[in-house]
Chain A
Amino acid sequence: AQKITQTQPGMFVQEKEAVTLDCTYDTSDQSYGLFWYKQPSSGEMIFLIYQGSYDEQNATEGRYSLNFQKARKSANLVISASQLGDSAMYFCAMRGTGANSKLTFGKGITLSVRP
């Protein structure tokens, strides 16, 4: 079974600063994918970034980067130069392979960006 843990309480960051959102995972699969999604107050789920379990380099997408530490089973999201529009709920998720390609989500972390 796959499990995602997000335990941080609501996070606050000053505009233009960087922030790290924590995610740890547990799985017995050798091949898996890790994702971060953003859910603003409007409710939609927006894909941010993906990291494959065999990827040697940390994924980056614009201001988002994923700090992947396989041995520690962590996949933290780093947002650089925070913007007011980054205020949202952030979900870490894991996907297996084949018939087990469903996403398993963590409970999410609320991020508030202060002007």
Chain B
Amino acid sequence: NAGVMQNPRHLVRRRGQEARLRCSPVKGHSHVYWYRQLPEEGLKFMVYLQKENIIDESGMPKERFSAEFPKEGPSILRIQQVVRGDSAAYFCASSGTGDTDTQYFGPGTRLTVL
């Protein structure tokens, strides 16, 4: 059974460029969560999506960040005009029903902004 897949595993961008992070949930899971981990800190929630719907985006910065989970294909976290403070590990997690299921995490994407 394939777990949560994330790519790329490492991404280097220069300030002002765009970063696209992809997440393929566990097969059959329809709930996707994105979290960000800054160095030496715990994970912070960003956004919760179901297919074609954003359920909770209370943790998303108001500008430059967006997320989608289309009917077909992976979930995408998009960061426009990256700044050095965006350097972090970005984790995607998926669950079956969302409400009561355990969230299983992908390996993360380490974003470095030069």
Please list the residues of chain A having a beta carbon within 8 angstroms of any beta carbon in chain B: 33, 35, 37, 43-47, 50, 52, 91, 93, 95, 97-108
Check if B56 sits within 8 Å of A107, measured CB to CB: no
Check if B44 sits within 8 Å of A105, measured CB to CB: yes
Check if B91 sits within 8 Å of A102, measured CB to CB: no
Count residues of chain B with CB under 8 A from any CB of chain A. Answer: 27
Which of A44, A50, A102, A104 is the one whose CB lies under 8 Å from B105? A44
Chain B residues near A97: list those with CB within 8 A: 99-100
Say yes or no: is B17 at the interface (Cβ < 8 Å to chain A).
Answer: no
Which of B42, B48, B59 is the one whose CB lies under 8 Å from A107? B42
How many Å lie between the Cα of A37 and that of B35 in the bound state? Answer: 14
Which of B42, B100, B105 is the one whose CB lies under 8 Å from A106? B42
Which of A43, A101, A104, A105 is the one whose CB lies under 8 Å from B99? A101
Q: Which of A43, A52, A98, A102 has the most CB of B within 10 A?
A: A102
Task: Report the minimum CB–CB distance from B45 to chain A (whole Å).
Answer: 4
Closest B residue, CB atoms, query A49: B102
Chain B residues near A50: list those with CB within 8 A: 102
Which of A44, A47, A98, A104 is the one whose CB lies under 8 Å from B102? A47
Closest A residue, CB atoms, query B46: A102
Chain A residues near B33: list those with CB within 8 A: 102-103
Chain B residues near A105: list those with CB within 8 A: 35, 42-44
How many Å lie between the Cα of A93 and that of B33 in the bound state? Answer: 14
